[in-house]
Amino acid sequence: MSMQIVVAGAVISDGVLLVAQRSRPPELAGRWELPGGKVAPGESEADALARELAEELGVAEPDVRVGSRLGADVTLSATMTLRAYRVTLAGGQPRPLEHRALRWIDAAGLDDVDWVPADRAWLADLAAALNRP
């Protein structure tokens, strides 16, 4: 049984983080997350994240710059692991194509967001990334 990797992008620009409000499934609808999705067979994690962010945010894939890992892996199930990466956008204006809404928050706003449970594991790492010059 192979492990399914799900990648999430911490899109950071000028000291603020892009968060996306889920529209589904019902138990997570209305909660906030880092956008991303599943890595397809034969696809690198960076390529998967660029593709997913292009699909979810309406930005061009070449404009998605996937950087270093952020935080530790989060186990979602016996067969699924969630992994976050720092991301910068070289162009484009993110739009909520698959989410209810998008918003930019600073480090102080991290605790004001109703996060999906899995993404809470990265709050300290996100705060550190947002507080770096």
Task: Write the pLDDT tens digit of every residue in 56-77.
Answer: 999 999 999 999 999 999 999 9
What's the confidence (pLDDT) of residue 132?
73
The CATH number of the domain where 94 resides is what?
Answer: 3.90.79.10
Classify strands 4-13 and 80-89 as parallel, antiparallel or unpaired. parallel
What's the confidence (pLDDT) of residue 1?
62
What's the confidence (pLDDT) of residue 89?
96
Give the E-state strand segments of 14-111 in sequence order: 16-21, 32-33, 36-38, 64-77, 80-89, 101-105
Domain span including residue 67:
4-131
In terms of residues, how long is the chain?
Answer: 133
- Written as six digits, the tokens of 66 are 């996937």
CB-hemisphere CA count at 13 Å for 125?
A: 18
Strand partners, 66: 87
Task: Write the pLDDT tens digit of every residue in 15-72.
Answer: 999 999 999 999 999 999 999 999 999 999 999 999 999 999 999 999 999 999 999 9
Count of structural domains within the chain: 1
Q: Please give the model's pTM, rounded to 2 decimal places.
A: 0.94
Token look-up 């409000």 returns 21
Element (H, E) at 12: strand 4-13
Q: Over the chain, what is the mean pLDDT? A: 95
